[in-house]
Amino acid sequence: MFMADRPFLITLIGILTLLVGLVLLFVGVVLVVAPDSDFADVGISIGALDALGFGTLIIGIFALIVAVAFLNGWTIAWYLGILLHGIDLILSILMFPAGIITLLISALIIYYLFRPHVKAFFGVK
């Protein structure tokens, strides 16, 4: 599973993306299956809660796919990584200033993915 020529930061990004995907799956499941009464006091409509839960599940599944692709060095991982962290970057901008740390991390990952040795690892020109 771990390739000798894979850059260390790609391994780290893959593992962290895997962990984030698992957390997102857990949160999505909790939001979808939580009893309606648990959120009645907060003023969140059940439809919005279900939509948020399913959206979180979808992003969690996508993050897991990206993580597996990163750890296996698949060429598609580079494109999926740009897409995933690009979406994260946009969401972080929308949540500014609360999302400043996520914004910085996503920007750094996108920058790193465009480094020549990383593109060469994934076979991207």
- With residue 77 as reference, give the H or E element that holds it: helix 75-94
Q: Is 101 helix (H, G, I), strand (E, B) or coil?
A: helix
Exposed (0-12), middle (13-18) or buried (19+): which is 67, by Cβ within 10 Å?
buried
Task: Examine the pLDDT at 33 and tell me if it is beyond 90.
Answer: no
pLDDT classification of 110: cutoffs 50, 70, 90: very high
pLDDT classification of 75: cutoffs 50, 70, 90: very high
pLDDT at 1: 47
What's the full length of the chain, in residues?
A: 125
pLDDT at 4: 60
* Longest CA span, the chain: 53
pTM here is: 0.83
69: Cα separation from own chain's centroid = 13
pLDDT at 31: 86
CA distance 18 to 52: 20
CA distance 81 to 70: 8
- Residue bearing the bigger pLDDT, 105 or 42: 105
Q: What is the mean pLDDT of residues 79-83?
A: 95
pLDDT at 99: 87
